[in-house]
């Protein structure tokens, strides 16, 4: 999992590394947050994600 290998990664970097659209990445991240599998850190343009 990309978030596990790169803690504190931003959604834009995830989209770039996986070559998928940013809205798709954000939808997936939202689901992972709901399930409690990842944590969101920061706010606005400085949001990053890590594994719980």
The predicted-structure confidence for 24-42, as pLDDT tens digits, reads as follows 999 999 999 999 999 999 9
* pTM (predicted TM-score): 0.88
Q: What are the structural domains, with CATH classification, of the chain?
A: 2-51 (1.10.10.10)
- How far is Cα 36 from Cα 18, in angstroms, rounded to an integer? 22
- How far is Cα 48 from Cα 52, in angstroms, rounded to an integer? 13
The pLDDT of residue 1 is 73
Summary mean pLDDT of the chain: 94
Is the pLDDT assigned to residue 7 strictly greater than 80?
Answer: yes
Judge whether 12 and 22 are in contact, CB under 8 Å: yes
Helix axes 22-34, 11-18, angle to 10 degrees: 120
Strands (E), 1-52: 38-41, 48-51
């Amino acid at each position: 999992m990309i978030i596990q290998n790169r803690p504190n990664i931003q959604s834009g970097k995830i989209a770039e590394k996986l070559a998928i659209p940013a809205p798709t990445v954000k939808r997936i991240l939202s689901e992972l947050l709901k399930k409690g599998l990842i944590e969101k850190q920061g706010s606005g343009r400085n949001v990053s994600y890590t594994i719980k």
